[in-house]
Amino acid sequence: MKKDLAHHQPSESDLYAAFLMLETPEEVKAFLADLCTPTEIAAFADRWHAARLLHQGLSQRDVASRTGIALATVTRVARFLSRGNGGYLSIIKRGAKPNAAV
């Protein structure tokens, strides 16, 4: 049976609001560690790394070969980077720096 997606809307809004309450990198790290599996966090980190490299002008194949991130994942990131909701670009344009200390 398929879940009613409308039922999840308030939960998603609550999740977004929870992210906005986080104030430090340590709080973000702790929240994500409680919320996600280590594999999910690693997948998020890979996508974010790929987005920044693609934005710097590297080709999809270069990103995949240099990082070990699957080409299918890099391709998905590239698609959202160019035609997505602007989420990646909004943070990239704010000057997010790689390897921030946490």
Over residues 43-99, the pLDDT tens digits come to 999 999 999 999 999 999 999 999 999 999 999 999 999 998 889 999 998 886 655
Contact indicator for 50, 76 with CB cutoff of 8 Å? no
**Cα four-point dihedral sign 52, 56, 61, 62:** negative
| Domain 25-93 fold | Trp Operon Repressor; Chain A (1.10.1270)
Q: Where are the domains of the chain?
A: 25-93
Question: DSSP letter string over 71-98?
Answer: HHHHHHHHHHHHHS-SHHHHHHHTTPPT
pTM score over 0.75? yes
For the cut 80, the answer to whether the pLDDT of residue 39 exceeds it is yes
Q: What is the pLDDT of residue 102?
A: 42
Residue 9: phi, psi to the nearest 5? -55, -50
Q: CA-CA distance, 66 to 46, in Å (whole number)?
A: 12
CA distances to 22, 26, 36, 41 from 32, in Å: 11, 10, 6, 7
93: left (phi over 0), alpha (psi -120 to 50) or beta: alpha
Mean pLDDT value of segment 6-15: 76
Q: 24: helix, coil or strand? A: coil
